[in-house]
Amino acid sequence: MQRLIGLLVGAVFGMLFVAINAHEPLPSTAGILLRVAAGVALAFVIFVYMVAGKLIKTGAVPQSGQAGGPMFGKAYLVIVGIEVVLLFGGLPVLGALGVPAQVNVAWIAFVVGAHFVALAPVWKAPSMLVPGVVPTVLGIAGFVMAGTSAIAWVPFVSGVLSGVTLLGASAVLSWQQLAELRKVAATS
């Protein structure tokens, strides 16, 4: 369940990335469709979480600790603490430097992605590298774009595409986790 909680959190943040950043210069219809698709993806992850919870609650799957210790232990807290400092410290610094507001989402994508990269070895989950590396690269791309005439597209590239990555990874990984739980339930 701990892994599914992490995936649920990732999906919520993915939804927020899409909901906040799917705006102009995108056509409004595209923004609406992206928000609806993000909502459906989040609902799917919530559904999987609820089904998995029911399997555990009914005893169909025995609840056991994760190999390697708890997911939300000391290393997790240190990484998230650094993430919070970077996010809430970095945004005012960007503002003080006169960086255009569109770049804020690039910073957020970079920091969020880097936090997933840092968590991958802690959680012994190489699958976390995709939702880590992709937003990190998209964040860097947003910084590069800020110096070009494509600055209006930074929220789409760094925000929407990062959100789609988080949602897609959360949906796929939660589905895989549920499949594993169902296998355990079938053999119990």
The reported pLDDT for the residue numbered 73 is 87
Mean of the pLDDT values across residues 160-179? 94
pLDDT in tens, 14-52: 999 999 999 999 999 999 999 999 999 999 999 999 998
Report how many domains make up the chain: 1
Instruction: Tokens 């996010």: give the residue.
Output: 87
Mean of the pLDDT values across residues 116-143? 93
Parent domain of 164: 2-187
The reported pLDDT for the residue numbered 2 is 74
pLDDT in tens, 67-117: 445 677 899 999 999 999 999 999 999 999 999 999 999 999 999 999 999
What letter does residue 39 receive in the DSSP assignment? H
Question: Which range, of 16-25, 57-66, 78-87, 135-144, averages the lowest pLDDT?
Answer: 57-66
User: What does the angle CA 100 – CA 102 – CA 106 come to, to the nearest 5 degrees?
Assistant: 110
From residue 16, give the alpha-carbon distance in Å to each of 9, 13, 69, 100, 125.
Answer: 11, 5, 30, 21, 24
pTM of the model: 0.90
Distance CA 129, CA 121 (A): 9
What is the Cα gyration radius of the chain? 18
φ and ψ of 146, to 5 deg: -60, -25
Distance CA 20, CA 105 (A): 10
